Structure 1
């Protein structure tokens, strides 16, 4: 009976007969510590302070000297659309956009076979008129000799007065014919000049030294500047004298007292943000734009750069005095609201680290940073009671 009861009992040992191992106590302790550290880290992350940050940037000392700012565009003072007074088909074009040209240089040519024929015909007419003049002069010379003989014979009584009068009349007519032929020569010469001018109009020349800006016609196009039809072109190219570039800027009439003729300026181009060029007010348009309530100022470049092109947008700072050499270099600058007790909080890897800085003078709305920071450092704006090493998250201002 006992054996049967023993067979009915449940064997709680593993099938292999090995006893079950217990987890060591130190592993449980390590897991608990890790869980606590994770919870603390998550808690700290959740408690990170949200701050507004600004970048350390570059600023120009001229900002502190600027009494007025205006915007405008670079324009050439000397600019022209080049065409021909003749009408015809464009046969040759020797320039393209950006080509430099000299005054009087042939840049294009129209078909001119008919004009060349007209010049040849005018030359022949001049030669024919000169030949007729020579013939008239010879006849006048002969008529003069006949008149003198007639007078001698009349004085001796060998001919009648009527015969002498006829000889005098023929001499006068011959002399008049000489004058008429001389006028015909001059007329033929004038016609030759006109034919040559028409031929010369077929050659399109640059009116001044400059650079080709745009090309508006191609070989084969019909050029008709005075009456451009649907299938014809007016100007062949447009060009400008790059030495006459200037900035046209609109100044509010309420700010006119801040600007004057000859005032020093600093020109900044949007296409070349790291370039600052000196300029001065060359002229002021003596009229107010009623719609915009502005006056146009023309600011000339005191120094030039080959990268400056027409129609570039520009910003002009009207300065209270000329800049010194040292003031023409950019400097590190920062929003003064980021400075507290001579230090700033630099944000890096999610933490704000306090860093002392050495400041300089004002640069417009910014303050110069002489030491302690580098370009593009991210610092906390208005740190307040922020602690050194505090966890932070950045947001845009």
Structure 2
């Protein structure tokens, strides 16, 4: 029975000690051994603060200043800045193909010429009628000063001349429709028609993409909406290009948030002089949320978390001062401190398990670089 009683007392003391470690220091409570009048008892009478054993030996590192970039990651697909499927407005037989698959063409270049023999003959006839109408009108106008000609006859000749001009313009427009031109400069895709083929209006001939500058569309969670704007930096990478990184900028942010995914669509633009980014290419996107040139960083092992709060031990006047801090971005082996510390302050990175607030310490080593 005596043994059971002793075990029970030890368990209670252990529970009190654990509870004080997490909550007692926040409110200035005394350690449980002091409350029971047992402080200093036994060979470890100094407890977690060192006590009669003297200052606690610790390793420190100064709070360092370095630039950090906060990013959010997403995925997107490359799209050409301008893209179109080339088709014909009218039916006709392909007379000539004016492009090579995959080549770059200029705006206005003739891509396909349809058979125009019948329309050329019609245009020649319209021009001949126009010449005849103009000649008759000129003769009538020259006779008018010295000879009498009915005003109605002159008006009729003028009307015939205008009609002939209209027929010429109509034939020229129809002839132009038989020539399929590039609407903008870009690179043509695969050819889908052959010379001699009869095509109908809307029949795909090829594709045309302007890829000198491309667009990448992606989505980000709505919680980041207030932190992005047109001009924000975007970095993209693709498995097809290994370690290569492509740099772009946010061009447009959608005015609406998707209620199903709680995300917002973002369109970014990338210069693509070498046309490495092809339409349809899958990319991993990193969007820059904020760049801080003078961020404060400490080693990750210096952080002493308690619930939803975080603390560090700062060495001031030979004592470990427990300081609450606000954390920011997490980096490999380091954590950004947004509030609570100043640059250059010595922070305990090893030995915090033996510390409590205001305990005397002895610095055994000062690290000069990140511990990771």
Q: TM-score, normalised by structure 2?
A: 0.57
> What per-residue deviation string (whole Å, max 9, x for no partner) do you get for residues 50-70 of structure 1?
xxxxxxxxxxxxxx7342111
Aligned-residue offset at 1:303 = 6.5
Alignment partners' CA distance in 2, 1:73 and 1:90: 35
Residue 237 (structure 2) pairs with residue 261 (structure 1)? no
Structure with greater strand share of residues: 2
Would the aligned equivalents of 1:270 and 1:312 in 2 still touch at CA under 8 Å?
no
Q: CA RMSD in A?
A: 3.1
SS in 1 for 2:243: strand
Partner of 2:175: 199
Aligned-residue offset at 1:192 = 0.4
Partner of 1:73: 77
Partner of 2:213: 244
Would the aligned equivalents of 2:71 and 2:289 in 1 still touch at CA under 8 Å?
yes
Aligned-residue offset at 1:86 = 2.5
Would the aligned equivalents of 2:214 and 2:271 in 1 still touch at CA under 8 Å?
no
Would the aligned equivalents of 2:213 and 2:272 in 1 still touch at CA under 8 Å?
no
Alignment partners' CA distance in 2, 1:139 and 1:255: 83
Aligned-residue offset at 1:217 = 2.4
Partner of 2:255: 286
Would the aligned equivalents of 1:137 and 1:175 in 2 still touch at CA under 8 Å?
no
Alignment of 1:175-186 (within 5 A): 175-186=151-162
Alignment partners' CA distance in 2, 1:291 and 1:126: 65
Aligned-residue offset at 1:77 = 1.9
Alignment partners' CA distance in 2, 1:322 and 1:254: 18
Give the gaps of 5 or more residues in structure 2. Answer: 1-67, 294-299, 302-328, 335-372
Please identify the structure whose Cα radius of gyration is greater: 1
Would the aligned equivalents of 2:215 and 2:270 in 1 still touch at CA under 8 Å?
yes
Structure with greater helix share of residues: 1
Aligned-residue offset at 1:84 = 2.6
Residue 85 (structure 2) pairs with residue 109 (structure 1)? no
Give the gaps of 5 or more residues in structure 1. Answer: 1-63, 145-170, 227-233, 325-335, 338-362, 369-397
Distance 1:68 1:274, change over 3 A: same
Would the aligned equivalents of 2:187 and 2:210 in 1 still touch at CA under 8 Å?
yes
Alignment partners' CA distance in 2, 1:299 and 1:365: 26
